Amino acid sequence: MSADYLVVGCGLSGAVMARFMAEERNKKVLIVDKRDHVGGNCYDYIDENGIRINKYGAHLFHTNSERVWKYVNRFSSWTRWEHKVLGVIDGQYIPLPPNITTINMLCGQHLTNQQEVDDWLSRNQLKHKHIDNGYQMATSRVGVTLYEKIFKHYTFKQWGRYPEELDASVLARIPVRNNFDDRYFSDKYQALPSEGYTKVFENILEHENITVRLSCDYFDIDPSTVSNSTIIFSGPIDDFFTNVGYPKLEYRSVNFEIKRLKNTKFFQPCATVNYPGPETPFTRIIEYKHFLNQESPHTTIISETTCSDGDPYYPVPNKRNMELYEQYRALAEKERNIHFVGRLASYKYFNMDQAILNALEYCDSNFSI
């Protein structure tokens, strides 16, 4: 087991940290994951329909960071992919995030240009004194009608609470457009790894100083065998401090229901169709065949239903959890020779590029020569 660094978790943060210590600091790194594969929640594979699917939900890479873009290009070629999302609302396919077409279709308008949209929005947006929660954020951006149709119930299905019970940042993630742009993201770089995410991780971890051990739960490792290693922990911070007896942090998990439709060209018009209404339990259906225009006589669709139990996916940003996290963070700061890095260890809703940048910047600040 002996290694200079023991990295816990083979997701983005762990893999980037492992590579840095191995390559830039010439350290021996052991990276472990309790799952039987690398890649964390980005893990993908080719299914029995010959279609590449993500085991833990669709992952769309997008970034404005030159540093992150340069970094990921070292480990894979990437194919530009501008993600589009439609929502089934009032029985029709509506573009998301909201743009001119969305407003026209859902609010019976005939807006044609940016000025008209800006005027319509400012007439409809609620003017709150402070933006303290997701409800205030959403209604201050789109007004009540679009809030009810697009955000209110979807957010409840996703988070198990209504927007007023969540941090404003959650409802600020997706833009509101005053034009016809129907891309989900506006970042300079938006792409998918040409050979899939798993390959990216295999390439990041392909280094003579890195040993990967899968199906290995950090908490089952005999501490005496790693007592000389510095630990980089990317798992849930509250799991690390279970013995302290603080309440657990809340996470949302996702239940995936896979359907393989034989001899079916397509099930839906684009890769992601959201179901923002209360009439379905799932939030969205992903049809993976659309990504990079894959070919198969069949198609695979996966519906995502968010739930409170299961693997931790999304930290739940509300007051209770943020305050509790601060208590865990205070414990983490007292630990010597252990670094807590990544979405679960920092209890932050990172996009992929933010997770990579965060890990790289953590190395800049903590492992400079």
Radius of gyration of the chain (CA): 22
Taking the least distance from each CB to ligand UDP, the nearer of 152 and 339 is 152
Element (H, E) at 322: helix 319-334
- Using the rule CB under 6 A, is 315 a contact of ligand UDP? no
Minimum CB distance to ligand UDP, residue 157 (Å) = 9
Task: Take residue 240 and report the two structure tokens written for it.
Answer: 């690390």
Alpha carbons 71 and 66: distance in angstroms, whole number: 8
Minimum CB distance to ligand UDP, residue 156 (Å) = 9
DSSP lists the bridge partners of residue 191 as: 61, 80
Taking the least distance from each CB to ligand UDP, the nearer of 232 and 315 is 315
Taking the least distance from each CB to ligand UDP, the nearer of 1 and 174 is 174
Q: Is 59 left (phi over 0), alpha (psi -120 to 50) or beta?
A: beta
- Using the rule CB under 6 A, is 74 a contact of ligand UDP? no
Minimum CB distance to ligand UDP, residue 145 (Å) = 14
Pairing of strands 210-213, 29-32: parallel
Alpha carbons 87 and 97: distance in angstroms, whole number: 9
- Using the rule CB under 6 A, is 96 a contact of ligand UDP? yes
Minimum CB distance to ligand UDP, residue 347 (Å) = 15
Minimum CB distance to ligand UDP, residue 58 (Å) = 8
Taking the least distance from each CB to ligand UDP, the nearer of 158 and 190 is 158
Contacts of 274 (CB under 8 A, 6+ apart): 85, 86, 87, 88, 96, 154, 283, 284
Pick out residues in 262-301 that bind ligand UDP (CB under 6 A).
274, 276
Q: Please give the single-letter amino acid code of residue 339.
A: H
Pick out residues in 121-180 that bind ligand UDP (CB under 6 A).
150-151, 154-155, 158, 170-171, 173-174
Minimum CB distance to ligand UDP, residue 60 (Å) = 8
- Using the rule CB under 6 A, is 350 a contact of ligand UDP? no
Q: Could you count the other beta carbons within 10 Å of the beta carbon of residue 101? A: 15
User: Of 32, 6, 353, nearest to 200 (Cα)?
Assistant: 353
Pick out residues in 169-228 that bind ligand UDP (CB under 6 A).
170-171, 173-174
User: Using CB under 6 A as the criterion, which residues of the chain lie in contact with ligand UDP when the complex forms?
Assistant: 87, 96, 150-151, 154-155, 158, 170-171, 173-174, 274, 276
